[in-house]
């Protein structure tokens, strides 16, 4: 029941949230990443995300699967947008539901951190002064590795 997608059209967070959930779950969470108006002291007017789409779709599916196994739930959804985005637009949405909140939070955090590390998506910022620049990848603070039950 997990789902993932690389899309070119705007992301509807409510739609992503609707992909998960069950009567057996006590927790449903939604993380929404949006384009902000600044980075490293510079005013940002928008971004462009480029990708190798087939590889990105496969890697995102793997990340979602890993997170679901770690949280012992198949109710996980993640969508990442590519192309031109304006300030305030949604670039990524992650939804997870599970019987308990700790697993849902952990799975969501795992997904966004792994996206930042592994997803073949490159970000070019357009600055308010007319300049552009590729954003160098950053290694986030380590999140605990997911526990994957081998059974």
- Please name which of 96, 8, 83, 93 lies closest in space to residue 50, comparing C-alpha atoms: 83
Per-residue pLDDT of the chain (151 residues; tens, 9 = 90+): 899 999 999 999 999 999 999 999 999 999 999 999 999 999 999 999 999 999 999 999 999 999 999 999 999 999 999 999 999 999 999 999 999 999 999 999 999 999 999 999 999 999 999 999 999 765 555 555 555 554 3
The range of the structural domain enclosing residue 56 comes to: 3-32+52-120
| pLDDT on residue 150 | 46
Residue 149 in domain: no
**Interatomic CA distance for residues 124 and 47, integer angstroms:** 6
Residue 45 in domain: no
Residue 148 in domain: no
**pLDDT, tens digit, 9 for 90 and up, residues 65-94:** 999 999 999 999 999 999 999 999 999 999
| pLDDT on residue 1 | 80
Query: Residue 115 sits in a domain of what CATH number?
Result: 3.90.1170.40
- Please name which of 65, 64, 53 lies closest in space to residue 120, comparing C-alpha atoms: 53
Residue 13 in domain: yes
């Amino acid at each position: 029941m997990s789902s993932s997608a690389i899309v070119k059209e705007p992301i509807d967070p409510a739609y992503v949230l609707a992909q998960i959930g069950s009567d057996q779950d006590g927790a449903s969470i939604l993380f929404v990443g949006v384009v902000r108006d600044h980075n490293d002291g510079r005013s940002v007017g928008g971004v462009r995300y480029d990708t190798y789409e087939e590889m990105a779709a496969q890697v995102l599916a793997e990340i979602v699967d890993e997170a679901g196994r770690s949280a012992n739930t198949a109710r996980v959804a993640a969508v990442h947008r590519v192309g031109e985005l304006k300030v305030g637009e949604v670039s990524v949405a992650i939804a997870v539901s599970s019987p308990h909140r700790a697993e849902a939070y952990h799975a969501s955090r795992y997904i966004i951190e792994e996206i930042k590390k592994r997803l073949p998506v490159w970000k070019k910022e357009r600055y308010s002064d007319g300049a552009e620049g590729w954003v160098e990848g950053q290694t986030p603070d380590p999140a605990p590795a997911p526990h994957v039950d081998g059974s």
